[in-house]
Amino acid sequence: MTDTTILTLAKEAIKLCILISGPLLITALIVGLIISIFQAVTQIQEMTLTFVPKIVAMMLVFILTLPWALKKLVSFTENLILNIPNFIK
């Protein structure tokens, strides 16, 4: 296994992690921003107001993107396992 192969595998793994976690992180960012604006306008400073909508929105996005994320992970794993003979050379 060469240095280039290891770096390519690491790059693909990191890219996959970012791709899969992206929708959840973007959802948390958008919901948090909307709630912060709402709290600033209404001057309600309730701590639980920030957590509950974020959790609900992230669970919804997680459920909606789960088939796509599993397909990506299975594809990456299959590719990795099928290329083991090439890595040994």
Q: pTM for the full model? A: 0.80
**How confident is the model at residue 88, as a pLDDT?**
82
Rounded-to-integer distance, Cα 50 and Cα 64, Å:
22
* Helix, strand, coil percent content, the chain, rounded in steps of 5: 90, 0, 10
Q: Where are the domains of the chain?
A: 3-88
Inter-CA distances, 73 with 9, 24, 48, 81, Å: 14, 16, 34, 12
Q: Over the stretch 27-61, which tens digit does the pLDDT of each residue have?
A: 999 999 999 999 889 888 887 888 899 999 999 99
> Cβ distance 24 to 58 under 8 Å?
yes
Q: Over the stretch 55-89, which tens digit does the pLDDT of each residue have?
A: 999 999 999 999 999 999 999 999 999 988 888 87
Q: Which one-letter DSSP state was computed for residue 31?
A: H
